[in-house]
Amino acid sequence: MLKTTAASLALVDHILELEGATMGELVEATDLAKSTVHAHLKTLAEYGYVVNVDNEYHLGAKFCHLGDYVRTRKDYYRVAQETVSWLDSESSMDADFAVEEHGRIVSLYGDLEFANSPRFLIDGSPFHVHTTCSGKAIIAEYPETRVREIIDRWGLPAATDDSITTEEELFAELATVREQGYAENSSEAVEGFWAIGKAVKSPRGEVYGSLNLSGPAYVIDEETRATQVELLERAAERFEQGVAELYRTQADEANEA
């Protein structure tokens, strides 16, 4: 890796984590010389990635543009957005759609109250595959070699006392996910937080991501769980049917052209 690039990206993460930071706070967080931090920040500001407001650095609005691009760059993301909207209207829980990238889980659509803290978006946050229902739902569809690659890179750090921390536990959990068709999470990523997730696929069987429902653990009983699982399964069916229809339409248009 390029150390200069890594340093700039680390500054972005620190600004996000601190929800705005002074020069002194960033020097302390990175252990870099003040002149070095200043040079990185000046470059980031020149390209619109940070702004200086009253001697405090914040992330720039350019990240909004980048986020919009990420959320629309694949055709099936639109289907995911529509499915999340439907699921959110049908369920009393929060709905979202998440994907795995570089062995980490990112939520693309949804308004998750537990994710309001910027710490949820950076390296070291609870978005490890083994602590989230979306992560477990997705990697349950992966070959064991890919799962082990993710473990080797990120490890199995505990986010709470209920987190999975051993390979034996994780692979046993993934077997359960495959058997029941969805993943469940109870206080494994955030204390008092419950969620279920189901992997969704392309017509060719590629794993596109996971549809998820989440809420406070104290409201969950067997009846509520069964209702949410049924809704999630219906949502997954809607998503996969929507993707299949999208690709059929694209194929017809290509043939006509």
**Whole-number pLDDT of residue 71:** 64
- The pTM of the full predicted model, rounded to 2 decimals, is 0.79
* φ/ψ of residue 174, rounded to 5: -65, -35
Arch. (CATH architecture) of 74-252: 2-Layer Sandwich (3.30)
* Mean pLDDT (the chain, rounded): 88
DSSP string, 126-156: S-BTTTSHHHHHHHTTS-HHHHHHHHHHH--
Percent of the chain whose pLDDT exceeds 70: 91
Amino acid 170: pLDDT:
97
Q: What is the pLDDT of residues 82-120, one digit of tens each?
A: 999 999 999 989 999 999 988 999 888 775 554 444 444
**Phi–psi pair at 212, nearest 5 degrees:** -140, 150
Q: What percent of the chain has pLDDT over 90?
A: 62
> What's the CATH number of domain 3-64, 1.10.10.10, 3.40.50.720, 3.60.15.10, 3.20.20.110?
1.10.10.10
Report residue 207 as tokens: 């794993």
Could you tell me the residue ranges of all domains in the chain?
A: 3-64, 74-252
